[in-house]
Amino acid sequence: MKIVFVYEHGAAKSVIAATEFQRMAKHRNLNFEIVSRGTVPDAEIAPGVRVGLRADGLDAGSRNPVKVSKQDLAGATKIVSFGPNLSSLLPQGAKSLDWSSTPSPSKDYRVARDHIRQQ
C-alpha cells in the first residue's frame, strides 16, 4: 500500500504527516510505502520541522523535498493534499483527501502535528 502526502513546498506539513504515519505504521506492524512530496518544493525541510520531529523522537533523515509527479501518485492507496490542486496529476478516477485546514507548522509545530495526528 502506498500513501502520498503533498504540500506546496514539501518541506513541512507533508514531511510531518509522512514521518508520523511511518511511526504509526511501524508501531502497528503495517507495511506501507509512505511518500512526502511538494508541488513547488523548497531546497530543504524546514528547520523548525526537523527540530520538532527530533523533539518527538522522530527523524526526517537527510532527505530533501521532492517535486510530486504522476508516477508518485500512480497506484497510491491514499493521496493527501494539504492544499495544492493535484487534478492534473491524479490517475484517472483517483481522488485526494483535503487536509488544507492543517495549521501552519511554522507558527506552532505542536498544533500542526496534533492536527495531523487526529486526521
- Ordered domains of the chain (ranges, CATH): 2-118 (3.40.50.2300)
User: Which pLDDT tens digit goes with each residue over 10-37?
Assistant: 999 999 999 999 999 999 999 999 999 9
Residue 58, burial from CB neighbour count under 10 angstroms (0-12, 13-18, 19+): middle
pLDDT tens for each residue of 33-66: 999 999 999 999 999 999 999 999 998 888 899 9
Residue 86 in this model has a pLDDT that exceeds 90: yes
How far is Cα 41 from Cα 46, in angstroms, rounded to an integer? Answer: 11
What's the pLDDT score for residue 61?
82
With beta carbons less than 8 A apart as the criterion, state whether 89 and 70 touch.
Answer: yes
Q: Do residues 91 and 73 touch, judged by C-beta distance below 8 A?
A: yes
Q: Which of 46, 59, 55, 47 is nearest to 18 (CA)?
A: 59
Count how many residues are written for the chain: 119
